[in-house]
Amino acid sequence: MRVIITSVLGLLFLALPFIIKSNYLLSILIVIGIYTLVVEGLGLLMGYAGQVSFGQAAFFGIGSYTVAILTARYHWDTVAALLAAVVIPSAVAFIIGRPTLKLRELYLALATLAFGLLVHIAFNEGRELTGGPSGLTGIPYLSFAGLILNRDIHFYYLVWAFVLLVFLAVRNLDRSRIGRAMRAIRDSELAAEANGINTALLKLQAFVFSAFLAGLAGGIYAYYITFVSPSPFGFNMSVQFVLMAVVGGLGTVWGPVLGVGLVVALGEVLRWFIPLVMPRAGGEYQIVFFGIILVLVMIFRPEGLSGRWRKKQAAAEEGKGALETTTT
């Protein structure tokens, strides 16, 4: 049954660009795919390793600016620039992760928040390199093997192919010894250390992997928009990424895409609704609504949208294990 449902969903996703006639809706699906890459990494960091980060927008921005600077200013090959967009955020995460991940809970959240704010300031103030508040233009379309990805349908398949690969990687990780060790850190870091788990190394690996995915998403975002400016990589975006991960459900493969889909759809509704009721309101009011939603979710549904499904799956696996034990 699961194979049939998965096959139907796969065919539906392949056919969607031909069913949807609206470029706007197709662009929304591409953005959902890009954000899903970021939130899958954040979900791994928060849901498995139990480490909160408000700095994912910074890694997302570093990936975007890496592509923008290398291609628009230094005329690098587009594929090489995309590779650099995942390597540089990963290296930055490795450098800052070693001291930062020694902090616990609120202090870690504040440290990553400060990092995100510093990177955002650097995007604004590094005018000679980043273009400052005006941003950078002239980013070419991504191209390889003679194929130029300059249409929405190209980016749709590119982004969701990467999302599928990440789904498979996280699913395999979830069932591996490393995944179980990360969940042990989330449940009790002291108990994990007492059982011989190298908690510092695993937390650092999860942090670097989340930055890797954020950089990849940022690089694709730059090629899709062909323009970067500091505004999409600030504090508001970091809060939205955390909201997406929490609303979708931490520690699950499908939770991030559910959370991203809901928050992006809600953001589009608010973009239309807020000017109707508050004509002079700016975009900052969206973050107020998102903050209220985050508080409500933490109070009434802390396990997220996919939490109930995860509990049913865990119960089914326990029942299956008990049945196998009984029959043997």
What is the structure's pLDDT at 308? 62
What is the structure's pLDDT at 181? 86
The helix/strand/coil state of 136 is strand
What is the structure's pLDDT at 98? 84
Helix axes 152-174, 2-19, angle to 10 degrees: 160
85-113 in b/e form (b: 16+ CB < 10 A) is bbebbbebbeebbeebbeeeeeebbebbb
Q: CA Rg, the chain, in Å?
A: 20
| Cα 269 to Cα 206: distance, rounded to the nearest angstrom | 33
What is the structure's pLDDT at 125? 92
| Cα 124 to Cα 135: distance, rounded to the nearest angstrom | 8
Closest CA to 186 of 171, 172, 206: 206
Residue found by looking up tokens 């392949």 in the block: 14
Where does residue 225 rank: exposed (0-12), middle (13-18), buried (19+ CB within 10 A)?
Answer: middle
Phi, psi at 229, each rounded to 5°: -145, 165
Question: CA separation (Å) from 82 to 6, 76, 203, 310?
Answer: 30, 10, 25, 34
Tens of pLDDT, residue by residue, the chain (328 residues): 667 777 787 788 788 888 887 888 899 999 999 999 999 998 888 888 888 888 899 999 999 999 999 999 999 999 999 999 999 999 999 999 888 878 777 788 888 889 999 999 999 998 888 888 998 988 999 988 788 888 899 999 999 999 999 989 988 888 888 888 888 888 888 888 888 888 888 889 999 999 999 999 999 999 999 999 998 898 888 888 988 888 888 777 888 888 898 888 888 887 777 777 776 666 666 677 777 777 777 777 766 666 666 666 655 555 555 555 555 5
Closest CA to 33 of 210, 207, 158: 158
Tokens for 60?
């997302």
| Cα 145 to Cα 147: distance, rounded to the nearest angstrom | 6
Q: Kindly state the greatest CA–CA separation across the chain.
A: 71
Phi, psi at 144, each rounded to 5°: -155, 145
Closest CA to 221 of 41, 85, 119, 77: 85
Tokens for 222?
């730059």
| Cα 101 to Cα 200: distance, rounded to the nearest angstrom | 7
Task: Report which DSSP code applies to 244.
Answer: H
Closest CA to 215 of 79, 32, 3, 57: 57
For residue 106, the one-letter residue type is L
Question: CA separation (Å) from 295 to 35, 118, 128, 289?
Answer: 21, 26, 40, 10
Q: Is the overall model pTM greater than 0.85, yes or no?
A: yes
Tokens for 275?
């000017």
Domains and CATH numbers, the chain: 22-325 (1.10.3470)
3-state helix vs strand vs coil in the chain, percent to 5: 80, 0, 20
